[in-house]
A = this chain, B = another copy of it.
């Protein structure tokens, strides 16, 4: 009942040549007459032949496939990265597996194991929560890897990184808040295990220090990286510390939650409380009041990650790069 797949052999038979000639014709290789090639290509087209990527992969040990692991595609930040990564992959004839790690180490491991089993040519791993020594195992398993939002303890020739300078960004935001006269600046810090969250915390501290202010851990509230998380954390914070007049949020989603909390508690933004988010997702300019934020171009990060991977593929010599992206302080009505 099932239609059998057309194979090289079928085409070869139909064309009256050996299967190697067909293979050469399909792959545009040297050593074959132009007329022969044209004839074979035509026959193949007529028969509806497409080389099996599976068989090809087994023979060549290359799958023309990349893996993309993100915490959550439904987070606009990663959705844009995914689009950028897939666009670049498409342009270069690669396909991409999309895996969500769901902020869970176990599922992240499972995602990477699955990619390993699928023998992808490279992996883009975003915001990994795995400990360094565990990551090391995967560095060895995969031919190349790009880490987004995660540092490397020591450089690896097969691993590149793309990091947003969250620390500098957070510091810049705090400086700005200080300069505009805010007296009590709080941090809604997102998940405690987040690496970029820790970097923002560091920037928050150093920004405070630069203004000769002391750090108060009461001013830091952890929460899930969502609007709901931001709402709850901010409400909690504001009830305990009504004097807070500025909030730096883990990301824009959390910041929007903060906005909602302020509204719910009757705190006018930005008159009474200033709010600054991170990421500059489209939502930031669509909420009312519009959100000030530390912006980066997510789509380009995705593209860059794929391109890095593919470059590492050709330049065997290319050492593990470490790209750093400086966020930009986008001031809107809230900051």
Across the A-B interface, the 5 shortest Cβ-Cβ residue pairs? A288-B288, A98-B98, A79-B79, A74-B83, A74-B79
Structural contact, A54 and B58, CB atoms closer than 8 A:
yes
Complex partner residue of A286 from B55, B95, B114, B286, CB under 8 angstroms: B286
- Separation of A102 and B114 alpha carbons in the complex (Å): 28
The complex is assembled from copies of this chain, and their number is 2
Segment at the interface with B among A34-42, A115-123, A304-312: A115-123
Q: Could you list 8 examples of A-B contacts with CB < 8 Å?
A: A2-B143, A54-B118, A74-B76, A74-B79, A95-B115, A96-B97, A227-B282, A283-B286
Structural contact, A51 and B83, CB atoms closer than 8 A:
no
Structural contact, A95 and B74, CB atoms closer than 8 A:
no
Structural contact, B86 and A99, CB atoms closer than 8 A:
yes
Which of A90-148 touch B at CB < 8 Å?
90, 95-100, 102, 107, 110-111, 113-119, 140, 143
Chain B residues with Cβ under 8 A from A74's Cβ?
76, 79-80, 82-83, 299
Chain B residues with Cβ under 8 A from A110's Cβ?
90
Say if the beta carbon of A13 comes within 8 Å of chain B.
no
Greatest chain B CB density within 10 A among A99, A113, A118 is at A118
- Separation of A243 and B82 alpha carbons in the complex (Å): 42
Chain B residues with Cβ under 8 A from A98's Cβ?
68, 82, 86, 96-98
Contact mask for chain A residues 17-39; partner B; CB cutoff 8 A; 1 contact, 0 none: 00000000000000000000000
Say if the beta carbon of A193 comes within 8 Å of chain B.
no
Say if the beta carbon of A294 comes within 8 Å of chain B.
no
Say if the beta carbon of A63 comes within 8 Å of chain B.
yes
Chain B residues with Cβ under 8 A from A95's Cβ?
97, 99, 114-115, 118
- Separation of A102 and B91 alpha carbons in the complex (Å): 13
Say if the beta carbon of A271 comes within 8 Å of chain B.
no
For A87, give the chain B residue with the smallest CB separation.
B100
Complex partner residue of A58 from B58, B100, B256, CB under 8 angstroms: B58
Say if the beta carbon of A153 comes within 8 Å of chain B.
no
